[in-house]
Amino acid sequence: MTNASQHVKDITTADFQREVLARSREVPVLVDFWAEWCGPCKTLSPLLERITDEADGAFELAKVDVDANQELSTQFMIQSIPTVIAIRNGKEVDRFSGALPEASIMAFLKGVLPNELDIMVEEARTALTSDDSPGAEHILRQVLDQRSDHHDAGTSLAALLIDRGEIDEALIVLGKLVSDGEVDRLQAAARLRQSAGNDIPSLERAASADPTDDDAQLELARALAARAEYEPALDKLLAVVARKSTGREDARLAIVDIFEVLGNDHPLTLTYRRLLAAALF
């Protein structure tokens, strides 16, 4: 199928990353999973295309033929067609299935397109790219004054606060947000940063004086992690876990925080997750 509109595109697995995921960081993208043999698709697709054209760039429509792009269908767990998925900032934010009427589609769009607060967050992010942290922070706080659980505003402000060492406030901001991978990662980063100002040489002396002192080992490990010296920090924490002493659970939680910051696919996470499992069991 060929589309004349500049806002409607036929997408394949090969260009999905560029045309959908990357593009959705600039403008929301609706992904219409359809097939030539699908009767409801023939009802929904022209309606979606007309609404997209009338929106004149407020969002884009990416059409995916499920027969020709089965990998994408599997990736997004498409169980029936038509299915429409809204993507913003590289992530799915909502979906619907079936040939909905126009009123229902418009209600769906209202829930997934940027509102006034979302636009303000984008302005703040633009300010950050221009090295205007004070301006960005002012905008983000304005958003959170109106909606304290605004995810993007909260995570953006928390990241600024963590970088500045204002950990307690960052954790308060994050505590008002719905937990997800980004919130969990920032909370872990904040907890690790709490030990950033500690004197490493003094902590090393205390830890060396008594290798079985859990508190001394934990303080040193946290201080190392706060400086992104993750591998030596993990080694010390793992030793506490392996001793099965009173500091075992605190050490385990600190290790999990490091995993959150590094991400599941980081080589250190993969290695030390296996070592942690062995030490625990």
Which residues are registered as beta bridge partners of 96?
Answer: 84
236 belongs to the catalytic site: no
Distance between CA atoms of residues 159 and 164, nearest Å: 9
Residues in the chain: 281
- Between the alpha carbon of residue 47 and those of residues 33, 177, 221, the distances in Å are 14, 36, 58
Distance between CA atoms of residues 18 and 66, nearest Å: 18
Distance between CA atoms of residues 93 and 151, nearest Å: 12
41 belongs to the catalytic site: yes
- Between the alpha carbon of residue 10 and those of residues 16, 20, 56, 74, 95, the distances in Å are 10, 11, 18, 18, 19
Distance between CA atoms of residues 224 and 220, nearest Å: 6
Say which DSSP state 87 is in: E
Burial class (CB in 10 A: 0-12, 13-18, 19+), 204: middle
Residue of 11, 20, 30, 41 marked active site: 41
Residue of 38, 183, 251, 262 marked active site: 38
Strands 60-65 and 8-10: parallel
- Which structure tokens are listed for 247? 């500091």
- Between the alpha carbon of residue 142 and those of residues 106, 120, 121, 166, 269, the distances in Å are 28, 9, 10, 19, 37
Kindly list the catalytic residues: 38, 41
